[in-house]
Amino acid sequence: MNKLEMTEIIITAKTQSGLSWEAIAAQVGLAPAFVTSACLGMNSLKAEPADKLCQVLGLPAEVSTALQAFPHKSWDKTIPTDPVIYRLYEVVGVYGDTIKALIHEKFGDGIMSAIDFSMHIDKEENPAGDRVKITMNGKFLPYKSW
């Protein structure tokens, strides 16, 4: 079973279960953003959480095996048309150089890791309209001279 087939099976089971990603992640014991990413094929799970996820959704062992397989982290190189994803591209397009400049000013020449990384998505209620709060936390990796 490949990652695409795995994702289709998981999404179908999730829909039928009526469970949210947060509820599934809580039962698996990992963060919702990470569990969702693994279910969408962009990360892998270790055996125990993969098995737990399959138990929660009533999925066969083949799905657990696919969840444990290392992903090929590739995506379509064109600008996405889904409004949520497009707006994140817009944020990087508008603020990417600013983020880079501020990281370099505070840390020096280097990057934020997407490997030693966590992300949380929260809802902030606001009378003027609810707010999306995305918190990304990545280890700073300085460039080395040699």
Catalytic residues: 87, 90, 113
Question: What is the C-alpha to C-alpha distance for residues 113 and 119, in angstroms, rounded to an integer?
Answer: 12
Q: Which residues pair with 134 in a beta bridge?
A: 121
E strands present in the chain: 110-124, 131-142
The residues near 80 (Cβ < 8 Å, ≥ 6 apart) are 86, 89
Question: What is the C-alpha to C-alpha distance for residues 4 and 11, in angstroms, rounded to an integer?
Answer: 11
Question: What is the C-alpha to C-alpha distance for residues 51 and 56, in angstroms, rounded to an integer?
Answer: 9
- Spatial CA neighbour of 41 closest among 89, 8, 84, 83: 8
Amino acid at 125: E
